[in-house]
Amino acid sequence: MDEPRADSYSPLSDTAQKSPVFADLAQIFEPIRGDLDAVEQEFVRHIQSRVALIPEMGRYIQTSGGKRVRPAVLLMASRLCGYRGDRAVLYASVVEFIHTATLVHDDIIDGADLRRGRLAVHSRWGNDITVLLGDYLYIKSMAMALTQDSLEIIRLLCDITLRMIEGELYQLTKTGDVDISEEEHFEIIRRKTAFLFGGCAEIGGMLGGVTPERAAALREYGFSLGITFQLVDDLLDYTADAAALGKPIGGDLREGKVTLPIILLLRGGGEEADGLIRSIVNDRSVTPEQWRELLRLLAEHRATDLAYERAVEYAERAKSCLSVFPPSRERDALLALPDYVLARDR
């Protein structure tokens, strides 16, 4: 299978280049640095098992360079709402376990050999073992949540997990469907990504005992941030450098995943774009020449520009949700996070 090479130009036009990073992730997470370190320690503690392979695989995943954005949103939201107890760290750890379980399963489904620049778990240990590890992480996450007596939060976590699995199943039914609609694509994004982000922020509000208005605002903040995150992630498949991205570029289309930039190109690119895209999806491969042509069409028809503008809209929507909270260090951090997501290159 031919691997496309990163081109020397970005399909984003000069007028739609990504906004500068006003703060790096370490600065944004500074108010919760101690709590995030505690989440890392909880991960190590709960991945322990008499079966030595489980902690070995857990350490491999933990050191893979994940950004921990989801647990950070939960921790920051809980502090924003005045909560300072230990349960925030526990639930942030639960969220990280759920997210990790989905990643190891998704990589098997997608046949992705690399994640963040090194072998995916299933590439190193095999599909059979990795499926069971994902199952272990799911069950472990719920066992951790059940150590607390908040059935409301446990119900929310179960609902989010079910929606994520439904999202993966729905995406599989749409794999290879070049005629997928924009609404169908956004339904996949909502289920696979946005609900977990929304739940993280909502749990922070639940721990802080906020008013229904503020709880809804936090849920919408996380939900919109999650959509922003996924839209940018989809864009990176067409705009990022392969080395920075940590995986081969063009992977989505070669796997038959038609995301927003391609949906927008199909809408305005005519027969030339339609034929090229259908050829790549049908063959499940893309030559360097096809890749250069695809990038040219994406730029010519402003498809990546328009997709990025949609991400900006959701980022602004996320930030507007925080207006119901008074100024604080935590609110400033949550306000900075959508801008960071918009500017990420990996």
> What pLDDT digit, counting tens, does each position of 147-195 carry?
998 999 999 999 999 999 999 999 999 999 999 999 999 999 999 999 9
**Domain map of the chain by residue range?**
23-343
At 321, list the tokens. Answer: 């949700």
- C-alpha span between 258 and 22 (Å, rounded): 31
Q: Which residue has the higher pLDDT, 46 or 116?
A: 46
Q: What is the pTM of this model?
A: 0.91
Scan for tokens 């096809």, then name that residue: 290
- List of long-range contacts for 110-113, beta carbons under 8 Å, 24+ apart: 110/251, 110/255, 111/255, 112/247, 112/251
DSSP string, 146-212: TTS--HHHHHHHHHHHHHHHHHHHHHHHHTT-TT--HHHHHHHHIIIIIHHHHHHHHHHHHHHT--H
> What pLDDT digit, counting tens, does each position of 124-142 carry?
999 999 999 999 999 999 9
What does the angle CA 323 – CA 317 – CA 82 come to, to the nearest 5 degrees? 40
CATH architecture of the region 23-343: Orthogonal Bundle (1.10)
**243 beta partners:** none
